[in-house]
Amino acid sequence: MQQKVSKIGVLTSGGDAPGMNAAVRAVVRTGIYYGLEVFGIMRGYTGTIENDIVPMHSRSVANIIQRGGTILKTARCKDFYEYEGRAKAYANLKKIGINGLIIIGGDGSFRGAHTFASEFGMPCIGLPGTIDKDIAGTDFTIGFDTAVNTAIDAIDKIRDTADAHDRLFIIEVMGRDSGYIALHSGIATGAESILIPERKTDIEELVGSLQEKEKRKKLVNLVIVAEGDNFGGAEEVAKVVKERLPNVDTRVCILGHIQRGGSPSCLDRLIASRMGYSAVECLLEGRFNVMVGIVNNRMHYTPLEKAVKAKQKIGDDWLKIIKILAS
């Protein structure tokens, strides 16, 4: 169906994630090793439409493995949602001779790749680059480990000041549709309660738990809230808590985009490098239109169509652990 891949493009799309640069580096150097021409596409799918495409060489990716963000920049491209935009993108890629595309991003980026591959026959490979860890078919997503460790570091510091003043801190972490950052950081920092989008928030249960702790003179408490919690995030939760527990010194802290930045962890550098290398090998082997993941420490390949439909689910065992350890 496809001619042999000889020129490949790599782009980063959607929200940035620590480790994206490591993945780009792996794609470029693996491609060059196998004699391919490699092109970097700037600002995600926008670069394909605006023909913002540059040749990449081994030195192009020197000294980037330790850097957060992405040297290729990233954007969300409305024009790529339209057929006319995708047709223009394909024409630009075809003009250069690019016949294989590697997309580093999340489920929205993969949706675009799946549609693009279906319409124009462009072989596409997806690498899961998202701090939310919300994509099924992989145990890890590029950026999650760094983001959660950044959150843990911040929460540990907040606990110090909470302890000094006997305060309750309600801390909001990222996760509009996924509670994995809240879950992992909350368990790792000994939070009293963790509120996530995957589970409807029982505000009465939370208030009751905090009232019981107040009676026991447990004055230092942490509540971790994912931004996509159905109750409305940390500020809304805090309003109710302050009304119901007026004697508790309650503060809100929203960690925000600090979780996206910073030098990627060892784990993120490793998985990004493995995934980038495997993505090029997929194109060379004729294994097209899949997402490259890691399951049980082995490379795992999920069709893009399935990857955009399935979500990584939080099991009941995690929720049980939270309840037991926070008592």
Alpha-carbon span 216 to 219, nearest angstrom: 8
160 noted as active-site residue: no
Per CATH, which fold does 7-143+264-309 belong to?
Answer: Rossmann fold (3.40.50)
The owner of tokens 């009232």 is 211
* Same fold across 7-143+264-309 and 145-260: yes
Domain boundaries, the chain: 7-143+264-309, 145-260
- Say which CATH architecture domain 145-260 belongs to: 3-Layer(aba) Sandwich (3.40)
pLDDT tens across the length of the chain (327 residues): 456 999 999 999 999 999 999 999 999 999 999 999 999 999 999 999 999 999 999 999 999 999 999 999 999 899 999 999 999 999 999 999 999 999 999 999 999 999 999 999 999 999 999 999 999 999 999 999 999 999 999 999 999 999 999 999 999 999 999 999 999 999 999 999 999 999 899 999 999 999 988 888 877 899 999 999 999 999 999 999 999 999 999 999 999 999 999 999 999 999 999 999 999 999 999 999 999 999 999 999 999 989 887 777 788 888 788 878 876
Catalytic residue among 16, 132, 145, 268: 132
Q: What is the 3-state secondary structure (H, E, C) of 247-282?
A: CCCEEEEECHHHHCCCCCCHHHHHHHHHHHHHHHHH
The owner of tokens 């809240």 is 182
Q: How many CB atoms lie under 10 A from the CB of residue 160?
A: 9
pTM of the model: 0.94
